[in-house]
Structure 1
């Protein structure tokens, strides 16, 4: 019987003899580790440092003189560590044995796994050797199959391309009137896509067809473009539609539309540049003189060619406007067809193939480019060519007419129900703003001309000079000429009227400065003074200006009259101010005469008949004042009766006459006592007053309510008190 296998002793068994008669008691796990005490010990803490140097420690111990004691302490520490280690091993003995058993089992499993892996690797190697040859054969056959399939595919698509090419040839062989270009373009695109997508290049038969196809494509594009341009120029939307269908079938609609837009942009920009080409204008204007043409550096033609150059400039501008109209309407025709035509299967508008929502429309793009070029050329001409600046400034109404006519023609020709117009209000305003600098110069020139004439007839340095009637007539005539020049241009008319309003305000200011306001201008007792005559002349001049300009504005729209209304009101006010003080002085004098009625005795009885037939003293004085006013003042202010025109002075005299009658009635009604003879005398005074006012101031029949009140007051003074009590209070107040 074999003896049992003796297992080698375990390290743990070697480390600890469990039969030791005097075992060291284990250190409780709860006690502190010796390392903790070493960390606080000044000697042993050095051993815990990562940079401990044994040589340096030994040297220090020997030099300290207590090497033996330190060696003993080290031995004691070592023994302490051994005891602690032994205690730790004993406390973890079961777990250590379990770990050792697991390691043995793992080592055994790894050994068996290693053997299995070697067997598997050998099997894989044998399988790889068995499959290598069939795999090579399969790959070879697959390559052959792929090549055969590719060749068959090329032959199939080449044959299809040749069949399509044959159909295209037969289609193009038809007479031109029966030839369907859209179908030909569709076949052309199908052939081109087949050639590009299937990689048919390099096949001789296909390459020959593609060379012919390239020539056919050029011919189709040429015919389609000719049809589109003809339709755009002539307004034939059917031609445009046919041409666009060809380009859509060719797959070139977007590119073609962009090319058309660029072409028409270039035409418009070129026409604008040619219209303001001063070298060409000067050469054309001087061609008939046989001398050297040319234009000076300032843009001014040579001497003697200004008039002809101006005519040539206007002629070129007219052609430019015609060309711009042609360009815009042509692009609008293109846009209209694109917005109507739809793709057959998707029903998407052709317009959406070339335009995205939110982008500017085709007409807006072209118009923006044209306006930008036009504005740039105008600005350049304004700043660099004094000749063009002068022509367009003085002839701005003509330039404005051209711009207005262009916008009106475009609007008229492109306003179709259900279709967007070619121009928006903002687009129209852009073109008007392009000539804004000439408009400002024209308005400034207008204001300068009229202001200079006003300054010449009303010089600031001379306060006593008054313009003559001819000078006033000339300035009115000039204002009327300025209005007539722009009468047919609504917007420009309003701007010119604003400048005329400024001139009228300046005229009123200068005239007001000439008005005399001293005592000599207000005296009414003596003959008329030179200061009063000057005020009379100013009043009549301003009255004429107000009347004639108001007459000229009557035929204009109400908005135009409203612009001049404030300035004419100022003119009217200054004209009134020039004579208002005189009329107030005359009225004060007449009222003072009437107030003397309270100094008369209307209560005496049995007055002498001779005395009764005479007017009262105050009435005689009142009549003398009226006669004097008529002879000295009113005869020089009022128009002749034959004219029957109402003037400022006429209204002032009418107001003064009405005031005199009302003032007399108020104070006559206050006279007390009033005897029978006094009543008769009062009645005679009223008759004299009516006669004096009618002969010297204003026809009393035309005074209205004041005259009726005077006539009604006469019977009231003859009524008894009891009769007055029976009258209605309202009637009494009305009569008085």
Structure 2
């Protein structure tokens, strides 16, 4: 059968609906004659432009026209506009008449098509109603069967879960009925949690048999919690990791690990707070000590009645000791719990138990307990300080004991929680917080210490009395009191330093008072007559201050170096005042001895003849020097150094022995300096000078200081004696020059040179005293420059005269000056 050929469909004319749906493009409104639209004129007109606005308000427009007084003209203008618009509209209709007729025809066609469509829609609705009536009954049957099937499935699931819950419950009962010693708490807890989860997830509550089983499971769960808590607490008290781990595993299996740990931490925090409160409860102390406080027991201010202070004090310290022990046990137990949590993992899920207890950013368990403890401890200490004068006094006076208790607590906790790879129970910041909690008593203790010592110093050195000198017993009391203060705290380095700072303040006060007692003026410096009362008072002060300095220095000698650093300024002030009390005397005596030595320049050492050589008497200036030294020894040093054997020969250095050593060294060097300046010096003069040196050595050694112990000055004196007898040609190679300052050798060589070779003393026309003062202020290099200038002047004079030869001294001085100055030891400089 041949298929009909497919013909190409001709374009179908558009339906009326399609015509209506096709938009027409409106042309720009114009007049029928093609002119501009009146709307353009309206837009530029001030009256009609208001009517083109979307926010036009007729009431406002009318009010404006009336208020302007041009209502009639405005109305007439509006009428003209209306007529113009009507005219324009009529023109537009006539102009577009054919288009309007076409649109009207399209509307008629559309209305016809809509009538046909309404008939088709009505037929469709009838068909739908017929189909609905045919399928409604099967739908109801399917829905009913579906609900029935769903209920069957749900019932089956409930029966299956119920059977499983009953079996697990029976298994749990069998476990719980076993011997308590052999009961596997972790497994039972796992079953308990599984039963509850099964019933909760599947909504088994409401089934009678399940409710009965849940009651039994709940009872067993309570027993498991109780047994697990006992095991956990026993393990924490005994620091048994196995028991703590078992208890934690039980609560983890029960799904209650975080709540249980939080409850434990809160319990331990409460115990810490309670322990501190009980330790400082004066009423409880009164009752526990036998009520021996008389009628009324403890007063309102926290002070026991008369006669009960000793018992209350003892009871308070006992309670503080018990409190420290309880805090130690609690903190170590919490640390042990934290340690087990950080190590133990669930054997099935491998979850770290600590992660179940703590979230990121949460403080550690020990930090929670320690923070609560420190806060309570600080609050209680502050409250006790202000509320109870009795406890304040005990803790202030006995602060070293209180501090020792707290420090021992911190040390015990650190020692007992020092395990490699595990965080300690408390950090260094936590320790500082605990120490800071009792700082209020530390401040009071230091103030009390300072007050005790200051009162003692004020008693010994009253401000109102300057002339009185304290007795030796008074000084001994000050030293003993300082020693007791140090011994009371020496077991703790930190507290020792704090007390030493207070002692330093007291020593500075003592130095100020002693300085006020030191006598000055001419009477204190005189050295020609017997010792005056003012000088004797200065001697006594010097000995007392030196005793204080020596004893306290020996006390801190066994302490760390920082202890000496703390007291160093105060001890230095004490030592300085002790020196000042006698330094002026020694300086006055030294000035007198130097003035005696300066008289050497008034003697004639250039005399020739046997009479001068055979004279065994000392020079007059030396006799005066000896008398002054002997007088100084008898009147002054005998009081400052009552025992020569103990003070000098044994090498014991005191202020006075140091001053005497310095004086003796200065006398020897000063004599050598001016002996080298003597010019001329004959052979008989050399013998006389040698005798003077022997007399000087004897006078200094017997009355001031053993010359053998003076070192370089004594070696210089012993070397200078043979040097003056050497020939000039032998001087350059003599080993004796190593023991003499270069300036002494060079000055002595002037006495061997011609008159043209002037010494710096002669060249600059200075007195021996002026030149000596200049030498004291210069180094060997500067002295050599002055000597070199005189040598240059001498050389210029020789050349000016046309002489060919120099004195043998000249080249020797040039050679010795350049070499000895470079190698001279500093100790030999005058």
2:419 and 2:333 map into 1 onto residues whose CA distance is 15
Residues 1:28 and 2:33 are matched in the alignment: yes
Distance 2:660 2:213 in 1: 106
Q: What's 1:166 paired with?
A: 170
Alpha-carbon distance in structure 1 between the residues aligned to 2:440 and 2:545: 34
For residue 611 of structure 2, what is the aligned residue in structure 1? 608
Structure 1 match to 2:622: 619
Is the CA contact (8 Å cut-off) linking 1:287 and 1:293 kept in structure 2? Answer: no
Taking a change above 3 Å as real, the CA distance of residues 336 and 29 of structure 1, as seen in their structure-2 partners, is same
- The match for 1:705 is 712
Deviations 1:260-291 (A, max 9, x none): 111112222211111111011122334368x5
Which of residues 145, 157, 161 in structure 2 aligns to 1:157? 161
Shift of 1:29: 2.0
Residue 166 of structure 2 contacts residue 213 of structure 2 at CA under 8 Å; is this kept in 1? yes
Q: Which runs of 5+ in 1 are unaligned?
A: 1-25, 65-69
Report the alpha carbon displacement of residue 467 of structure 1 after superposing the two structures with TM: 0.9
Q: How far 1:111 moved relative to its partner?
A: 2.4
**Aligned with 2:683 (options 655, 672, 676):** 676
**What is the aligned partner in structure 2 of residue 182 from structure 1?**
186
* Structure 2 match to 1:534: 537
SS of corresponding position for 1:605: coil
User: 198-207 or 724-733, which moves further after superposition?
Assistant: 724-733
Give SS of 1:344's match: coil
Aligned pair partner of 2:438 in 417, 435, 438: 435
Identify which of 207, 217, 220 aligns with 2:221.
217
Deviation at 1:27, TM superposition (A): 4.3
Aligned equivalents of 1:446, 1:77: Cα separation in 2: 113
In 2, the alpha carbon distance for the partners of 1:525 and 1:212 equals: 115
Which of 717, 722, 733 aligns to 2:724? It is: 717
TM-score normalised by structure 2 residue count: 0.79
Structure 1 counterpart SS, 2:528 = coil
Alpha-carbon distance change, 476 to 100 in structure 1, aligned in 2, over 3 angstroms: same
Are residues 35 and 669 of structure 1, via their aligned partners in 2, closer, same or farther at CA, if it must alter by over 3 Å? closer
Contact map agreement 2:712 2:739 (CA 8 A) in 1: no
1:147 is displaced (CA, Å) by 2.3
Distance (Å, rounded) in 2 between the aligned partners of 1:675 and 1:375: 90
2-structure distance, mates of 1:348, 1:478:
64
Residue aligning to 1:196:
200
**Counterpart Cα distance in 1 of 2:653 and 2:313:** 48
Instruction: Find the counterpart in structure 2 of residue 319 from structure 1.
Output: 322
Is 1:666 matched up with 2:666?
no
2:118 maps to 1:118:
no
Secondary structure at 1:296's aligned position in 2? coil
Which residue number corresponds to residue 822 of structure 2?
none
Q: Give the deviation of 1:120 after TM superposition.
A: 2.4
Question: Judging changes above 3 Å, is the alpha-carbon distance between structure 1 residues 387 and 49 closer, same or farther for their aligned structure 2 residues?
Answer: closer
Query: 3-state DSSP class of the match of 1:331?
Result: helix
Structure 2 CA distance for partners of 1:102 and 1:510, relative to 1, 3 Å: farther
The structural deviation recorded for 1:666 is 0.6
Which aligned pairs between 1:133-282 and structure 2 lie closer than 5 A? 133-282=137-286
Pick from 639, 653, 663 the counterpart of residue 656 of structure 1: 663
| 1:14 aligned partner | none
CA displacement, residues 654-699 of structure 1 (integer Å, 9 cap, x when unaligned):
0010000001111100100000110000000000000010111111
Deviation at 1:230, TM superposition (A): 0.5
1:12 aligns to what?
none
Moved more, 201-210 or 499-508: 201-210
Counterpart of 2:701 in structure 1 is 694
Which residue does the alignment assign to 2:427? 424
CA deviations on 1:380-427 (whole Å, 9 max, x unpaired) are: 111100110111111111111111111111111111112111111111
TM-score between the two structures when normalised by the length of structure 1? 0.89
Question: Which residue number in structure 2 is paired with residue 581 of structure 1?
Answer: 584
Kindly provide the CA deviation profile for residues 620-644 of structure 1, in whole angstroms up to 9, marking residues without a partner as x: 1111110111111111112413423
Structure 1 pair 393/673, CA: closer, same or farther in 2 (3 Å)?
A: same
439-448 or 192-201, which deviates more = 192-201
Structure 1 partner of 2:390: 387
* 2:612 corresponds to 1:597: no
CA, structure 1 residues 588+184, in 2 after alignment: closer, same or farther (shift >3 Å)?
same
Counterparts of 1:49 and 1:192 in 2: how far apart (Å)? 75
Aligned to 1:299: 302
SS at match of 2:299: coil
Q: Which moved more, 1:121-130 or 1:246-255?
A: 121-130
Which stretch has the larger CA shift, 437-446 or 196-205?
196-205
Distance 1:465 1:193, change over 3 A: same
What is the alpha-carbon root mean square deviation over aligned residues?
A: 3.0
> Match for residue 482 of structure 2?
479
Query: In the aligned structure 2, how far is the partner of 1:257 from the partner of 1:176?
Result: 24
SS in structure 1 of the partner of residue 644 of structure 2: coil
Other structure's SS at 1:429 match: helix
After superposition, the C-alpha distances for 1:203-242 in whole angstroms (9 at most, x for unaligned) are 1111111111111001100100000000101111111111
Label 1:93 to 1:639 Cα distance change in 2 as closer, same or farther (>3 A). Answer: farther
| Pair 85,233 (structure 1): closer, same or farther in 2 beyond 3 Å | closer
**Distance verdict in 2 for CA 1:659–1:203, change over 3 Å:** same
What residue in structure 1 maps to residue 457 of structure 2? 454
Return the offset for 1:341. 0.3
Once the two structures are superposed, what CA deviation does each residue of 1:83-140 show, in whole Å capped at 9, x if it has no partner? 6445433443454344334333433332222222222222233333333323332332
Unaligned runs of 5+ in 2: 1-30, 746-830
1:342 aligns with 2:349: no
**What is the rounded CA distance, in whole Å, between the counterparts of 1:439 and 1:37 in structure 2?**
98
Aligned with residue 357 of structure 1, among 342, 360, 367: 360
How far the C-alpha of 1:432 sits from its partner, in A, is: 1.1
2:767 aligned residue: none
Segment drifting more, 662-671 vs 419-428: 419-428
Task: Output the CA distance in 1 between the equivalents of 2:568 and 2:478.
Answer: 18
In structure 2, the CA distance between the partners of 1:106 and 1:344, relative to structure 1 (3 Å rule), is farther
Answer yes or no: is the 8 Å Cα contact 2:605–2:680 preserved in 1: yes
Aligned position for 1:563: 566
Q: Does the 8 A contact of 1:623 with 1:689 survive in 2?
A: yes
From the superposition, tell whether residues 77 and 242 of structure 1 become closer, same or farther in structure 2 (CA, over 3 Å).
closer
Change in Cα spacing, 1:89 to 1:497, as seen in structure 2 (3 Å) is same
Higher deviation after alignment, 345-354 or 703-712: 345-354
Distance 2:383 2:106 in 1: 101
Distance 1:466 1:92 in 2: 139
Deviations along 1:675-734, whole A, 9 cap, x unmatched? 011000000000000001011111101100000000000011112233335558867645
For 1:76 and 1:580, the matched residues in 2 are separated by: 128
Deviations 1:47-66 (A, max 9, x none): x995799xx99xx99x99xx
Secondary structure of 1:177's partner? helix
CA 1:391–1:159 in structure 2 vs 1: closer, same or farther (change >3 Å)?
same
